[in-house]
Amino acid sequence: MDEWPVGLLTLDAAGTVLDVNATLLAWMGRDAPDLVGRRIHDLLTVGGRIFWETHLAPLLHVEGRLDELDGTVQALFAAGMRRVLLEGALARLGTAAPERADSVVVAAGAAAARGPDDIERALRLAVEALALPVEGGTPGLCVKHAAGFEAEVAGRIEAGRATHVEVAGAVTGPLLELLMRRGIRLRLVAADATHVLAQPQQVARARRAGVELMVRRPLPIVALTASPFHPDVELTADQAFAAAAAAAAGRWPVFDVVSGRMSA
């Protein structure tokens, strides 16, 4: 199991870590003694602890396994896919990039929202920032690095009156803000959505201001999951599911991690 391309933790019934495989240790940059003997609760974020304690741990105690996405994963394997990624791609983890995963199940949880009245908008903007349109044309200007050089890049674009620009590295929030402030309208192309290091709200504002973000390769999104768990805001499973379904807009199925239901 040490060589498997997945991170594995072995826990006892109380949630204490008994063993960790080498893959997970390498991903975390930790040694086994740092984790073995600690409680899983101590290794999670606040939102992760709530989800573990209110859903995953009770379900494991009662049923001994988690089946919500089993059907989806088996269907993907049956279709010939061998690198299925289940992760919070709303956080733009690099492992969701097209060259690293054949399929991505996006965790569109309520933690992205600031409150119950904000969840639908927050999830819609977050998903739209991942499902960017694909560009196949040849740019008029290619930029190798923009992160840390936003002012210089914006100056080059403005001076050259470029309207079609490709960035080989990351497209950052500060770059989008500069382009908007200077009133520059253009198509800005990134490798894929994991290279867009900007808040979903910035991506949406940039689009309205005439900065159209595009990608060379789309993320291989195949489904969304909905979860009401939020560290500060009380939300119902129905609210979270409805918001995720609205964000999916019929493009992908949505799975409710609480009830196990699936959208059409």
Q: Where are the domains of the chain?
A: 44-130+219-256, 141-215
Specify the amino acid at residue 11: L
Q: Distance between CA atoms of 246 and 133, rounded to whole angstroms? A: 19
For residue 221, what are the β-bridge partners?
A: 104
Task: Give the three-state DSSP class for 17.
Answer: strand
Instruction: Please give the pLDDT value at position 158.
Output: 94
Instruction: Please give the pLDDT value at position 39.
Output: 87
Instruction: Please give the pLDDT value at position 92.
Output: 47
One digit per residue, pLDDT tens: the chain, 264 residues? 676 666 788 877 778 888 888 888 887 888 889 889 998 888 887 767 776 776 667 656 555 555 555 666 666 677 666 666 555 445 445 556 666 667 777 877 777 777 778 888 888 998 899 899 999 899 999 998 888 899 999 999 999 999 999 999 889 999 999 999 999 999 999 999 888 888 889 999 999 999 999 999 998 888 888 888 776 778 888 888 999 999 999 999 898 877 778 886
Specify the amino acid at residue 64: G
Pairing of strands 211-215, 171-172: unpaired
Instruction: Please give the pLDDT value at position 262.
Output: 83
Can you give the three-state secondary structure of 162-188, one letter per residue? Answer: CCEEEECCCEEHHHHHHHHHCCCCEEE
CATH number of 141-215: 3.40.50
Mention every residue, 6+ apart, whose C-beta is less than 8 A from residue 94.
100, 194
Instruction: Please give the pLDDT value at position 153.
Output: 95
Angle separating helix axes 119-130 and 237-248, nearest 10 degrees: 40
